[in-house]
Every structure is written in structure tokens, then in C-alpha cells.
Structure 1
């Protein structure tokens, strides 16, 4: 029994607002502000950026410099490496539920911009960048207003950006073969990290084994294992195990979930399986670990 009641881990104000409204737009303020912490499991992303970067998207990699427009799908793993020290632009995050009231939402989300076989990156010129920047500025201004129909207006701005992108020629600056093992490892690690944090017992961990990740990435599990081992010197199973244990320790320390709830949230069929798993790796039962942190 815990001596002190601990509160369930809460989301940051940024995450709370994003979850509540289903939408958020913000400027990228230099390299340090290029990454925000949010749950990629739930949100589509449109990013207008200027700088040099390398983007791993599904089974492809893109190295780009200058102004680009990027479309991210929460169901497709991607990783973004910023290569230049100066990086500016805008990011727009939105849920499918936010866009759904629009009659065109389904067709837009099924466009090539958001599909795994499509091209999510568009190189744009200065005139296009300025035009799109003004749209992002309008969205930033509108989200702070009390106008009753501002959500509908913002949905219209998102659709305008999507339609502008559909008129552009997609970027072809990608390499399917070069350093394929490193690229696959990058998207595996990104997909692994995307499963966390566990925000509630009602949304348990789904991908738990190397086979689960291989299926999600559309590769054979042996190929995934070979890539991860060669690049990181750790097995796929070890990465998964270490990340689950890290999350288990965080939940034990920062929530008041009982052991059964915690076990189910982490994808274990029975609490006893979780107890044995945890004790084998750390030498303590989950309850004993929790008590040691009180």
C-alpha cells in the first residue's frame, strides 16, 4: 500500500490543449523549438519548414534543403533529423476527429499526401513559402480568437494547404537503397517510441514483440532483427524490453494505478506475467520497486 497517494501522470499544458481542441498550430522557433512533445499516435501533422534536414518516412529517406511542406500521418512511422543549425517555419497538428465535420475530410486524408505509398514532402519556392506562411499566420491568429466558427475556418485553411500541395510536383529526392538498414532501424525506434507514454488503461500497449513491429513496417522480422542488431548492437527484443521497463518504472513512480491496471496497460495478459517479467529484469517485484521509491 502506498504511504502517499500519487496522482495519475498528467499531460503538459501543450498536450492538454491539443487533446481538448484536436488542433494546434505554432511557429518553429529555431532549432531548439523544432520538436514539441505530443502523442504522435493521434495527430496528423503539416509542417512548413526552412532549413536542411533528413526525413525517414516508412521505407524511404528524403534529404532536403530549403523550404519544404511535409505531411505526417499518425499511422505511418517517420523520423526527422535536423541537419542545419538554423531551422524555421510552422507546424500544424490536428486529429481526424477535428477534421471530420468537413464533408471533404475523408477524401483529403485519403489523398496521396497521407498515404504510405504517396509522397509526403514537397519542395517549394519563395513565392509559395510566403503564401503558405500567411495561411499559417492566419491559423495562429484564429486559434486565439473567440469567434464561434473559428474551427470551421481553421478546417478551411487546412484544406487550402492540402489543395495547394496537391497541385505541386512531389519531391523525388529520396534513396530507397542507400543505408537501408540504418533507415529501417530509425523508423523502428521512432515507432517504438511512439507507443509511449501510456496515457490510460483503456489504451494499452499494442506492439509488444519484434513480429508486431515487423508487420507494422511491412518487412520480414528476420530482416528487422538484422538491421537493428547491426546498427545499434542491441536486438529488437532488447530495445522493446528496455522501453517497456522504463515505462513500467515511470508508471509505478508517478501514478496510483494498481499492479493489475498497470500490467494490462503495458500489454500483459495477466498481472503474474508482468510481475515475473519485471522481477527477472530488475530483481524486485513491481510492488517492491514502488515501495522503494516512496
Structure 2
């Protein structure tokens, strides 16, 4: 039975909707990323993007100049200088730059970065209250912003060094950063997302929920574009046009990209056989999976696994 609180829009309604955000690049984090990545936003500017699925990385970013719009789940923040954002791995997020340039830093932190010796730091990160969508941004005093910027600068310097104790130095700066942010503890005012973005968020959430493969016996059952539209109670053409206008890609493109990303992740991070991955992803057989993969990547799944793992050693 349809949920009457969510109207099923006709295609004609789509023509009257206005879209206030530019094209968002769909950002899939590389399956072979390092466990800790840090960059300066001035030399590594952040493009407008939407990250549609779990990333496995916690992300922290600090702004010293510029403005932008951060959306975490269905929470929207208009950000500016002297603010810091915390992004949980499980949240769908997007970013839109609204100024000519932005300054500051960002870092990506994989849970495996900590290891057994720093389990307490990982637990602090996991329990840190500002990784919640409704508390994702903290407004800092200018002096607090300068202090946090110095922590980021030190982490960047240590990440680029060859010192044997650079990881310990990074860990120390990270703890000081969390402590200073927690002391600041002042959230930015958030606003509601547009109805159109809400539909995109729910579509990506439904797509992500299909990929919860925890063991070899799990089987992915992918829905069609029409089935996704039915679950969202909108016209299929409306959903497809909405998604394409925001991301430049159709619903079918997103389904195939997510399928490909999951295949890559399983090839790199598990020891499952090609036939097991093929079955788990819902292909009719190993030949169909190999054909799909080669068409997208110009390389066989087995060759991709060997090449990627060799590059990591």
C-alpha cells in the first residue's frame, strides 16, 4: 500500500521544479586508499560532490576561508570560515562550494589506522557526538580555529615525513583536535534540504541498503529504476530526471556504478573466489560478471585483483 503522506508525482510536476544546486560529482572512495589521508584545501581544492554510500572512512574538515553548503543525510549546513565538520562513514553527504576559493584542511581516517595500541582513540572517535548528522558542524572562535588549524598542519607535515614515530605524532594531534572541538561544542544552525534532494537521498539510501554483503552466502538483489521509484512513490521518469539533473547520471548509471564499486571492494578486501563474488552480486554466472567488469574497466576481475594487490605491497 502506498504511503499517502508522500505524493506520487506525475512527470508534468517535474517540469515546474527548480534545482538550486549545481551538478554534483558522484564520489566513490578508491578501494585501495591508505588508512590515513590528509590534504590542504588550498592545494587540493574540494569539488562539488555527493558521496552516495558508506565510505569506511571518518572525515574531518576545517575551513579557514571560503564558504560552502554541506549536506549530511537530510541536514543542510551553510559553512564558512572558522568552522569544522565531522562526517560519519555511514552517512550520505554532499558538498557545494559557494566561493571562489576555500582554505583549511581535511583528513580521512580508516578505523584500521589505529591498530591495537590506539584502540582507545578509535573508541573516542566512534563515540564522538559530532559525527551525528544533526550535530556535524561546530562553529569555532577565531583563536580555537587557529589552534585546530595548527593541529591539521602538524598532521600533514608528519604524514609527509619518514619519521618512525610519525603515526604516534598524528595520533596525538588528532586527540588534541577532538578535545579542542569538543570544548568548542557550538553547532551551526541547520536548514531543511529541498524536496528534490530528499528524494535523491532516499534513492541512494535504498541503493546502499542492497549492498550489505557480510559473508559468502549473502546475495544482492538489485531493484530496477522503476522499483526504486515505486518505493519512493514518485514517477520513474521524474526520479530519473531528478537524479540526472543533480548528478549528471541516470538511476541505471548509479545502480551499475554501485555494483562495480562493490565488485572492486570484494576483489581487493576479501579472498572470495570470482564465482563467489559473481553469485553474491546476483549475476547469472561468472562469465556474465567478467563480461560486465571488463566492459566497465577494460580488465578482467582476476587481473584487477592481482594488479591492485600488487600495487599495495
TM-score w.r.t. length of structure 2? 0.61
> Is 1:34 the counterpart of 2:46 in the alignment?
yes
Contact residue 54 and residue 83 of structure 1 kept, 8 A: yes
Aligned pair partner of 1:226 in 208, 231, 234? 234
- For residues 120-199 of structure 1, the aligned pairs below 5 Å read 120-176=136-192, 179-186=194-201, 188-189=203-204
2:252 counterpart of 1:241: yes
Specify the SS of the correspondent of 1:128. helix
Post-superposition Cα deviations, 1:106-133, rounded to whole Å, max 9, x if no partner, equal 13321212234x5111122332222111
Q: Contact 1:25–1:92 (CA<8 Å) still a contact in 2?
A: yes
Q: 1:26 to 1:53 in 2, by over 3 A?
A: same
Distance 1:191 1:28 in 2: 32
The match for 1:70 is 85
Contact 1:26 1:140 in 2 (8 A): yes
Q: Distance in 2 between matches of 1:228 and 1:162?
A: 44
SS at match of 1:86: coil
Partner of 1:112: 129
1:15/1:67 CA distance change after superposition, 3 Å = farther
Mapped to 2, the partners of 1:225 and 1:45 lie a distance apart of 33
Q: Distance in 2 between matches of 1:65 and 1:187?
A: 27
Seen in structure 2, the aligned counterparts of structure 1 residues 228 and 259 have a Cα distance that, compared at 3 Å, is same
The residue number in structure 1 matching 2:61 is: 47
Residue 263 of structure 1: how far off its partner (Å) = 3.3
Answer whether contact 1:79 1:190 (CA < 8 A) is retained: no
Whole-Å Cα distance in 1 between the matches of residues 47 and 219 of structure 2?
24
Contact 1:26 1:90 in 2 (8 A): yes
Residues 252-282 of structure 1, C-alpha deviation per residue, up to 9 Å, x if partnerless? 9xx9xx98466346x216428x95xx9xxxx
Partner residue of 2:110 out of 95, 120, 127: 95
TM-score by length of 1: 0.64
> Pairwise CA RMSD of aligned residues?
4.7
Deviation string 1:33-75 (CA, Å, 9 cap, x unpaired) is 2149999622111101232111111121112233320111111
Task: After superposing the two structures, state which structure 1 stretch, 49-58 or 118-127, moved more.
Answer: 118-127
Query: For the structure 1 residues 129 and 107, does the alpha-carbon distance in structure 2 shift closer, same or farther, using more than 3 Å as the test?
Result: closer
**SS of structure 1 residue aligned to 2:184:** coil
Whole-angstrom distance in 2 between the partners of 1:184 and 1:45: 24
2:274 equivalent to 1:271: no
The answer to whether the 8 A contact 2:220-2:282 is kept is no
Q: Judging changes above 3 Å, is the alpha-carbon distance between structure 1 residues 36 and 185 closer, same or farther for their aligned structure 2 residues?
A: closer
